Structure 1
Amino acid sequence: MSADHKQIVATAYQRIFGDLDVSAVDKYMSRVFVQHNPTIADGPDGVKQLLQMLASQGVQKQEIEFKHAIADGNTVMLHSRYEMAGKQWRFIYIYRIEDGKLAEHWDAMMQMPDTRANNNPLF
């Protein structure tokens, strides 16, 4: 089941955030989606508003690269690379799956700095 959950989350993430496909939100997210990012409203409408904001800021469709995908029961963690506003970002997303849909979300994100204190890769 964990492999299925990883596939659901990776596919949903690519369709929603990589392809910027607003229709994918309703397909992959629960109607009672719980959002733990304090800058995004609960529910699918919060994610749709985020997609509209990203598009208005010129974020382009992109192939999301996943470094890690880890599943534990109905919880999946993704470590990904994403470009926003001409800057590279690294994300760690955690999703809880319920009835085959994304039901809950937590995240941590970091913009790649212009100067680094070490040469260790972030990805």
Structure 2
Amino acid sequence: MTTEESNKQIVSTAYQRIFGDLDVTAVDEYMTENFIQHNPTIADGPKGVKALLQMLISQGVPKQKISFKHIAAEGDIVFLHSRYEMAGKEWRFIDIYRIENNKLAEHWDAMMPMPDGRANNNPMF
């Protein structure tokens, strides 16, 4: 297995466990202690992701199977294009992770809810 294939497997498994299964214990298993978060609404480190998970759980976000449309890797960077249900709406996410020593070390993202109306018929996923 290439480094890129291994990194894609690590990220997709971690993402499912953390955000699909809402497994707080997976945060320590898959993230570095000095995890760098570029989403301005989430604190750095595993504590920031754990706080996000606790918020999602408290809001009744269900455990779910994450659908990945695209997973790509270049060296230690992995890109995910996924679908997720949150607050009664479908969302689309682009997540970018940097891997360090087989763990998630850094994260960037962009997200949007499915719009009620569309200007075209092209699928978002």
Give your verdict on TM over 0.5: yes
Distance across 1 between alignment mates of 2:37 and 2:30:
14
Deviations 1:52-80 (A, max 9, x none): 00011110000000000000000000000
* CA distance in 2: counterparts of 1:98 and 1:62, whole angstroms: 27
Q: Distance in 2 between matches of 1:52 and 1:103?
A: 21
Instruction: Give the corresponding residue for 2:7.
Output: 5
CA drift of 1:46 comes to 0.1
Q: Distance in 2 between matches of 1:65 and 1:87?
A: 15
Deviation of the 1:90 alpha carbon: 0.2
Deviation of 1:28 after TM superposition, in Å, equals 0.2
Structure 1 unmatched ranges of 5 or more: none
Q: C-alpha deviations, 1:8-63, integer Å up to 9, x for none?
A: 00000000000000000000000000000000000000000000000111100000
1:9 aligned partner, one-letter code? V
1:52 aligns to what?
Answer: 54
1:21-32 matched pairs, under 5 angstroms: 21-32=23-34
Partner amino acid, structure 2, of 1:8? I
How far is 1:110 from its partner?
0.6
Moved segments of 4+, more than 2 Å: none
Deviation sequence 1:66-113 (CA, Å, 0-9, x none): 000000000000000000011000000000000000000000001001
Which one of 82, 92, 99 corresponds to residue 84 of structure 2?
A: 82
What secondary structure is seen at the aligned counterpart in 1 of 2:72? strand
SS in structure 2 of the partner of residue 6 of structure 1: helix
TM-score, L = length of structure 1: 0.99
* Aligned counterparts of 2:59 and 2:86: Cα–Cα separation in 1: 8
Report what 1:94 is aligned to: 96
**Aligned partner letter, 1:6:** K
TM-score, length-normalised on structure 2? 0.98
Residue 79 of structure 2: SS of its match in structure 1?
A: strand
Q: Which amino acid aligns with 2:35?
A: F
Question: What are structure 2's unaligned runs of at least 5 residues?
Answer: none
Root-mean-square deviation (CA, aligned residues, Å) is: 0.3
